[in-house]
Chain A
């Protein structure tokens, strides 16, 4: 197995008195899709945001390409090649699709924008995702449907030459055909050698595209296993009880938030 491109060791994160992540270890391998599963409130989004530099971590190590890194903000995560599709999408309603896709990384010289260049690049990316229902790349995001917005958020993350892509429930609002597109894209990204993390509550999708499954239970990493070694039922048990047979946390009943 390849060396992980991104590795977390003993990550802790609290929001005030709420201890959300407990000593979480997590690894993302290049060329693989790692599914991150867990119940509502298990801490999946918090983990993703900690990696992305949105929430500073309280303790623990982050290794990128084997070297320890300290990510202090979204900018630094992006510079390392980490892209994130957030669960709440994080789009600006008052900007159009192109403007959103390039937000914070606009192209152009001397602070002036090169709109034409950005527009062409955005259209190419969207076309590769087979976005058929959006009239124009200059449509304001406020006038898009939920699924279209999600597609824009995903397109935004694949526009860049990234090494790790974290997708937080990217198919939650998508129709059948669009979900298919996104799952194919997830596989395609992995085949291109990227490390992909997919958060999803849909077990069928998880088993279809992932190489490994990591399961969070109340902020603890219950298990991290190759997909082919586990069954549907085991994963569901890990999610809901933190333990399944000899897999999982030793004493999930002692786990508290």
Chain B
């Protein structure tokens, strides 16, 4: 999954970032526009590549280091371990990394503003524990939490609604409202209700975090550090020391452990690869038709072809039986693949194609300039925390499903650091203004591969932690250096 998604993402990324700067092959008719030297001269594929290389040298690396790193890791692990490249392990790897990768995808929005959300991990844990509690108690949260805790919980949800309404973040109001309704009405347990509840609890948490940062003006590092600790305590309160809440439900179990049927797998392929090709080609020819700057057609065709081919091969391999025993058959694309792909598409669409996404980049690049352009900076700042926590809750559904239960450590430990690491390794800048949702997917794939590969090589947890830390350090160094490089190249 992650690889498939990653590849789609890179293709998409390159279009987004470079197409514009490249050149139309058709040239321009209007005389006035002839003032823009390169906008009008046609450029061959070779020149387009040279242009790309000079951008890379100028410090605009994007996900390139992470992709190269992933390639190296795949080669190293497959040569050292016989089991690494087996189908069973690859699909296992996808499901292992998916939950935290999803959290990272939400964090990208926060990082784009140059902020940080250290509480996303434990916030997701709160969402997971509320979900599990609701399921275990058959919808009676009052009974599960006890009177006092339940009342405090509902008051917090109401506060979240009010805060979101203050800044007119209507989706935040709506989802937090749904959470409150589910709790107060005691809606009976149902896997779909549980997932909705988790999402809505995440949204409510994000409203509170976002308000404290954007309106009260506390640095996000401090707010989210405090909430990181607080939410950890809340999880412990909900579940009880040493307790575990089992997710004994077929649907919830399948989220991270189930697979699409062979037919649906190919359906997904048609939808995803076809959709990708249609969007990229449609945009490309649209630009050519209007005489706008576009990449050479050959290059676009090669890129689309590569993505389609890769997804076809991946789909085929994942539909082959990968069961180790002859008694059961396991085949099909894991559910987490369409989940991550859908989030990736939605996130990329929002950031690249909507006014809201443009404003996020603007606030991350120069908040004062954004304010002078009439953008409501506080609202944008609050909204990214709402997105991060909501998406983190979705990640919580996936990782809880993977283990089949929720314990007091849910979302704790290195969950958050993995997520931040994934985004940064994939090329999202900690300084704000630069990053894409696909970065999180690519970075998540790198970290999941390291964890999985070192595990297969029977390396102790100590080694895994040290290597993961060093890789993150390396990625942050690349980020800082490429910034310096871009600053030098500028003058």
Number of B residues with CB within 8 Å of any CB on chain A: 41
> Which chain B residues lie closer than 8 Å to A249 at the CB level?
none
The majority secondary structure among interface residues of chain A is loop
User: By the criterion CB–CB under 8 Å, are A95 and B374 in contact?
Assistant: no
Q: How far is the CA of A73 from the CA of B370 in the complex (A)?
A: 12
Interface string of B361-374 (1 = CB under 8 A from A): 11011101111111
> Which chain B residues lie closer than 8 Å to A99 at the CB level?
358, 361-362
Chain B: which residue is nearest A130 at the CB level?
B35
B286 partner, pick from A95, A113, A116, A127, beta carbons under 8 A: A116
Given contacts A126-B35, A135-B36, contact A120 B290 (CB under 8 A): yes
User: By the criterion CB–CB under 8 Å, are A123 and B33 in contact?
Assistant: yes
B215 within 8 A of A: no
> Which chain B residues lie closer than 8 Å to A86 at the CB level?
372
Chain B: which residue is nearest A86 at the CB level?
B372
Given contacts A91-B369, A94-B365, A95-B365, contact A136 B39 (CB under 8 A): yes
Interface string of A165-194 (1 = CB under 8 A from B): 000000000000000000000000000000
A46 within 8 A of B: no
Q: How far is the CB of A223 from chain B (nearest CB, A)?
A: 30
B36 partner, pick from A73, A93, A137, beta carbons under 8 A: A137
B21 within 8 A of A: yes
Given contacts A106-B355, A120-B292, A124-B33, contact A52 B369 (CB under 8 A): no
User: By the criterion CB–CB under 8 Å, are A116 and B361 in contact?
Assistant: no
Given contacts A94-B434, A136-B20, A143-B489, contact A54 B372 (CB under 8 A): yes
A123 partner, pick from B21, B39, B362, beta carbons under 8 A: B39
The majority secondary structure among interface residues of chain B is helix
**Residues 126-183 of A contacting B (Cβ, < 8 Å):** 126-128, 130-132, 134-139, 142-143
User: By the criterion CB–CB under 8 Å, are A116 and B293 in contact?
Assistant: no
User: By the criterion CB–CB under 8 Å, are A104 and B370 in contact?
Assistant: yes
User: By the criterion CB–CB under 8 Å, are A124 and B21 in contact?
Assistant: no
B370 partner, pick from A103, A138, A142, beta carbons under 8 A: A103
> Which chain B residues lie closer than 8 Å to A78 at the CB level?
374
> Which chain B residues lie closer than 8 Å to A226 at the CB level?
none
> Which chain B residues lie closer than 8 Å to A104 at the CB level?
359, 362, 370, 373-375
B33 partner, pick from A94, A111, A127, beta carbons under 8 A: A127
**Residues 355-407 of B contacting A (Cβ, < 8 Å):** 355-356, 358-359, 361-362, 364-366, 368-375
Pairs across A and B, CB under 8 Å, 8 listed: A91-B369, A92-B365, A92-B433, A94-B361, A103-B358, A104-B359, A120-B292, A137-B39
Q: Which 9 A-B pairs have the closest CB atoms?
A: A104-B373, A138-B20, A75-B374, A92-B365, A94-B365, A94-B433, A90-B369, A127-B32, A104-B374
